[in-house]
Amino acid sequence: MSHKNPVTPADSQPRSIVEAYHRAWTGGDVEAAMAFVADDVACRAPGVDLHGKSEYEQFIGGFAPRLTGLIDIASFADGNRVALFYCPQTAVADAAPVAECFTVEGGKIVDSVLIFDRLSFAPPQTKRSTVRSGGSKDGMRASGDSKDGKFESGDSKNGMPASDDSKDGRFESPASKDAGQRDLLVARLRGLLADETAVREVSMFGGRAFMVNEKMAVHASKNGDLLVRVDVADDAKFSEVPGASPAEISPGRAMGAGWIRASAASVADDEQLRFWLDAALAYNRALTGKRE
């Protein structure tokens, strides 16, 4: 993925500096990207700490040639700090989200915190066979009180005590309940988006994002809430809808205008879910210049 073109920031604001850097290196021009990086830059990434522009350039330069595509998700700015969220596509990963937090001083990037799953970009591993021993299954030794190598006693199954919050003797945690809400919301969104031609799904932040025309339209959160991207000009109007509130990237830190959180309860009704999806698609089409 190399298409070198001159990259110029829209202005001298930290967000413009970071976005110009991002466009340069993801476009294959690592040298141009380094023009936006300070000589004493520091970078913290999974498994490595980098110090100085030379180490940073080698690190970025080693990954850039592997790019086969890119999905930009969002960018946020808070003073001289800028956060980017995107999915770099390679031969082994096409939907692995990456987050970067930059600090900009004097028009240069001086610090970067890079977060991603290293295993998502690693070469495929050969599946190993399970070692079995006599009288056991999957490495667990069977006994008089076991079934298929799993201990059972009293009112338990698979060694887990039964309780009022259990199902078939298995404890159902709040996390599993949240996952059920998320999966149901994902299924409903798929049905409503069935007639859209340019839709792809990306797993991120414990939920599922729906990209329309390569831009995120909505995101089914892990607790069943719906994250909706709308026109910034309509932010106040949509924030007043019952069950809606400004989305937060972390407790107390808003994602910014144009990002709305609709609670799980408020989108339980199909009509209301359709309302939010229509709002997101209207903005998506205005943003991308594409129609149904």
Tens digit of each residue's pLDDT (9 = 90 or more) over 123-151: 655 555 444 444 444 444 444 444 444 43
pTM for the full model?
0.50
> Given a cut of 90, is residue 222 above it in pLDDT?
no
pLDDT at 170: 46
Q: Mean per-residue pLDDT for 251-265?
A: 87
Distances (CA, A) of 113 to 45, 82, 99, 101: 6, 11, 8, 5
Mean pLDDT, the chain, rounded, equals 80
> Given a cut of 80, is residue 164 above it in pLDDT?
no
- Token reading at 140: 């667990």
> Given a cut of 50, is residue 259 above it in pLDDT?
yes
Residue 148: Cβ-neighbour burial (10 angstroms; 0-12, 13-18, 19+): exposed
Higher per-residue pLDDT: 97 or 163: 97
Q: Mean per-residue pLDDT for 81-102?
A: 88
Assign 3-state DSSP to the chain and report helix, strand, coil percentages, each to 5: 30, 35, 35
pLDDT band for 9, please (50, 70, 90 cuts).
Answer: confident
Instruction: Find tokens 């910034």 and name the residue.
Output: 232
Give the tens place of pLDDT for each residue, 176-194.
Answer: 556 678 889 999 999 999 9
Q: Mean per-residue pLDDT for 27-45?
A: 94
Least confident of 18-22, 92-96, 261-265: 92-96
Residues 6+ apart with CB under 8 A from 112: 41, 42, 43, 44, 56, 100, 101, 102, 103
Query: DSSP class of residue 269?
Result: S
pLDDT at 205: 74
Single-letter amino acid code for the residue at 116 = F
Q: Are 271 and 235 in contact (CB under 8 A)?
A: no
Query: DSSP class of residue 224?
Result: S
pLDDT at 51: 93
- Token reading at 282: 């209207």
Instruction: Find tokens 């190993």 and name the residue.
Output: 128
pLDDT at 256: 82
Give the tens place of pLDDT for each residue, 37-89.
Answer: 999 999 999 888 999 999 999 999 888 888 888 888 888 999 999 999 998 88
Burial readout 194-233 (b: 16 or more C-beta within 10 A, e: otherwise)? eeeeeeeebebeebbbbbbbbbbbbbbbbbbbbbbbbbee
